Every structure is written in structure tokens, then in C-alpha cells.
Amino acid sequence: MNTTRGERRAKMERWLRSADPLPERMALEAELDAALRATRAAVGTIGAAFVLEPAPWGVLHIAATTRGIVAIELISETGEFMAKLSRRLGSTVVPDGPGVPQSTREALAAARRELGEYFVGRRTTFDLAIDLNAVTPWDRLVLDGARRLSYGETTSYGALARSIGRPRAARAVGGALGRNPVPVVIPCHRILAANGTLGGYGGGGHTPRADMLDVKRRLLALEGAPVGAR
């Protein structure tokens, strides 16, 4: 009997949270393989593949291409994540599974491993290849500046603007950080408002602002960084 995308997602999330996931995983892999084959037959070449990974606040989505990690969403529905990423890349996005290029699968496995280590406090830097081909030159400049921040280090939007040679562009810096396609790995959570409060935080699709700020607060607390009051 055919299952809906929502049912497949529910099974995956049950597997992620279960103490003995093997039976669920085996059934899920078979369903994802069938979905993958059907998608490839319908639309052709795969642009990116994705996995779900547990996080302290729930489940996040990680996607990769053959060049590296291309998207991370911290709070999102799977359908929304796939549709948005497909529009951004102009290509097909599928669940990880047989038929996905080996380099893509290796990038996803590395991301799952390193993010898992980060969330339990065993990793302070990431050694992941990142695919920023779909990012504008301005956004790339801002994101490269954010990548230079160390674990537990914070700065302001204005200070980051000055560090990249655009001292009057604090607001535009905030916009670029809000479009960061790979939050956590590129640590936009380390950029705060000028008064030391949280400011904003993207990476969650249409998730309410308060929920995203709670994620930002959790990430800063994990790193032992000063946490804004709001």
C-alpha cells in the first residue's frame, strides 16, 4: 500500500527518537528508496539529497550536493524544506538513499557526525565542505566574515559590517545572515544586536520569530557565550 509523504516523515521522526531504531529504519529505507527511484524517473538528475538529524530542540534538515553541504534548516516541515531548496537550486531534491551520488552521501554522513558531536559539546569547529554556489557575492562576503568567529565568540551586526569593510551596512549584513543557507556550520547565531540582545535569527522557514530566537539562545548557551535577554 502506498504511503503519503507525511506518513514517511512521521516514520522517520519516530526512528530518530526510538531507542531501538533498526526495524523502523529498515522499513523506512525501503520506502525512501522507492520514493527516490520514482522521483528520478519523473524529473531526472538529482540536484541535492537530504537527511533528518536530531537536535536539542527537535529535528533539523541537512541537504548536500556533490560539492558539499548546501542547506540546513533548524525548524521546518519536510515538504516546505524540499520545495524551497528545489526553487533555490533549480533542481530536484530527494531523500538520501541508493541512487544518490556517493560524494553527496559522504557529505551528509560527515555533517550528521559533526553536528551530532557539536550538540553534545565534543566539537568546536566544523571541517565540512560547503556549497555556496547559489549564494550572491554580497551574502558570501558576509558569511565568510561570520565564519571567522570562533566557538563562543560573539560580535554585533555593526562590528561584522566594519570587519568586512562595509561600516554602514549593518542592516544589510543582518539580511544576509538571515539568508544563511547553512546555520550552525556558518555560525550566524554568534552575531547579536548592538545592545547585546539576540537580534534576529533565520534558518527556520516560516517558524515564529520567538521559536527561532529560542534556538539561537540554546546555541549560544551551548557554547558558553553571553546570552541576550530578548
Per-residue pLDDT of 33-92, as tens digits, reads: 555 555 544 445 678 999 999 999 999 999 999 999 999 999 888 999 999 999 999 899
Q: 137-222: what fold?
A: Arc Repressor Mutant, subunit A (1.10.10)
Q: Which of 111, 188, 198, 225 is catalytic?
A: 188
pLDDT tens readout for residues 176-207:
999 999 999 999 999 999 988 898 887 656 67
Task: Provide the angle, in degrees to the nearest 10, between the axes of the packed helices 22-43 and 5-17.
Answer: 150
Provide the grid cell at 202. 533565520
Based on the residue annotation, tell me whether 188 is a catalytic residue of this protein.
Answer: yes
CATH 1.10.10.10 boundaries in the chain: 137-222
Please compute the mean of the pLDDT values over residues 2-22 and round it to a whole number. Answer: 54
Q: In three state form, how does the secondary structure of 128-167 look?
A: CCECCCCCCHHHHHHHHHHHCCCCCCCEEHHHHHHHCCCC
Provide the grid cell at 131. 556549497
